[in-house]
Amino acid sequence: MLIEENLPLIEQILSQWKQKIGEDFQGYRNHIYRVVHFCFSLQTCSQEEKEKIMIASCFHDLGLWTEDSIDYLAPSILLAKKYLKEKGLGKWEKEIELMIDLHHQVREYRDNNHPLVEIFRRADLIDVSLGMIRWKLDKEYVRGVKAKFPNSGFHKKLVKLTFRQLCRNPLNLLPMMKW
């Protein structure tokens, strides 16, 4: 399976957020590329589906930086909706909103009208689990993607924000999780 190092749509979207993301930029960029590649490998995608996945990937965790919080889903969705409106892609809004909102859902997402939601959820879980959960993906492919796009502190950032959330609100440790 092909590992593409530079996807212009991702680079165009992310360039607008580089300053806001700051020192975590490379880690987030690499996370996005890993998730995108895992999505593309879990299912054969049309060009439109690939674009939806790339857009959702760019925005899905962005609220971590815009809100400096682990409770980031709603802000990430708002940023994605704004982008879609600006680009005249409002018809994609519902599916991309679901992809972002449910990417940490514990249970499988089942809706034939929005099949990318489950693919996206699985791809993010592959990355968040550091490849320990792979679904049907080949172990060597997952290793190859991780080698091409190293962690660069992304998971360390997640641990830091989770610890801060624990100190601030221990009864709502993982507000982004859905059942």
As a whole number of angstroms, the distance between CA 82 and CA 29 comes to 20
- Output DSSP code: residue 70: S
| pLDDT interval class at 71 (50, 70, 90) | confident
Of all residues in the chain, the percent with pLDDT exceeding 90 is 77
Direct distance between the N- and C-terminal alpha carbons of the chain, in angstroms, rounded to an integer? 32
As a whole number of angstroms, the distance between CA 164 and CA 175 comes to 13
Q: Find out whether 29 and 65 touch, Cβ atoms under 8 Å.
A: no
The predicted pLDDT at position 141 comes to 97
The predicted pLDDT at position 172 comes to 66
> Which domains can be identified in the chain, with CATH numbers?
8-172 (1.10.3210)
Tell me the per-residue pLDDT of 100-154, one tens digit each, with 9 for 90 and over: 999 998 899 998 899 999 999 999 999 999 999 999 899 999 999 999 999 998 8
| pLDDT interval class at 155 (50, 70, 90) | confident
Question: Looking at the predicted structure, is the pLDDT value of residue 161 above 80?
Answer: no
To which residue do tokens 């993906």 refer?
A: 137
